[in-house]
Structure formats: structure tokens, C-alpha cells
């Protein structure tokens, strides 16, 4: 069987923090922790993540050396785009005036 994946909190080089991987230019793209927690609470996102094909795509991205070129390729995959759009709607909700009343 494949070896279990190392926990994200402690890669081979020792513990790392977000600050280690973000440059100042990236700072404007940073998502606050409170918003990231909303991802875990989204029923829509959980539903998408039940799809084994999407799980495989995400694993492949996670393990890839060249993540950016793989992401460009995956942004042509409707399922991956749906996942990305769902995440974006959660962390950057559209302006209130554009939302139809329930």
C-alpha cells in the first residue's frame, strides 16, 4: 500500500507557516482564516468533494511539482471549474445587491 501522506502541518523541512510561502505581492490574495473555515461548513462544497473524479484531480494538483501549469490545464475541466467557482463564492461572496431575495 502507498505510504500515508505526511500531515500538512509538518513537511520534511519542519513546520512552516503561511508567511514562509507568501511574498508581499501575494498578500492581497490571502484569504482570512475565518473565510477558509466557511469552506468546511459549505454543504455545496462538501457535495462536490464527494465526486471521486474531483478528489483525484485535487490529489494530482496537491502532489504536482508544477502546480501552476497543471491548474491552467484543469481550469478547462468543467468539474474543476465548478469546484473553484464554489470556493470563490464562499470566500468572496458577490455583492449583496446582486443576490436575489429568497
Give tens-digit pLDDT for 10-27: 445 556 565 665 566 666
CA distance 53 to 55: 5
How many percent of the chain have pLDDT more than 70?
65
Would 83 be classed as within a structural domain? yes
DSSP letter for 9, please. T
pLDDT exceeds cutoff 90 at 70: yes
Would 56 be classed as within a structural domain? yes
Would 24 be classed as within a structural domain? no
**Over the stretch 33-57, which tens digit does the pLDDT of each residue have?**
888 899 999 999 999 999 999 999 9
Would 52 be classed as within a structural domain? yes
φ/ψ of 8, rounded to 5, equals -60, -30
Domain count along the chain: 1
Would 99 be classed as within a structural domain? no
**Owning domain of residue 46:** 32-91
CA distance 83 to 58: 10
Would 22 be classed as within a structural domain? no
And the C-alpha cell for 94?
Answer: 458577490
Would 41 be classed as within a structural domain? yes
Would 43 be classed as within a structural domain? yes
Amino acid at each position: 500500500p502507498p505510504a500515508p501522506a505526511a500531515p500538512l502541518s509538518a513537511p520534511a523541512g519542519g513546520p512552516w507557516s503561511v508567511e514562509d510561502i507568501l511574498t508581499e505581492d501575494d498578500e492581497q490574495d490571502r484569504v482570512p482564516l475565518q473565510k477558509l473555515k466557511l469552506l468546511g461548513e459549505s454543504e455545496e462544497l462538501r457535495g462536490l468533494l464527494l465526486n471521486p473524479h474531483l478528489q483525484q484531480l485535487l490529489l494530482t494538483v496537491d502532489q504536482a511539482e508544477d502546480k501552476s501549469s497543471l491548474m491552467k490545464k484543469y481550469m478547462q475541466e468543467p468539474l474543476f471549474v465548478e469546484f473553484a467557482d464554489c470556493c470563490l463564492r464562499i470566500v468572496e461572496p458577490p455583492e449583496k445587491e446582486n443576490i436575489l431575495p429568497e
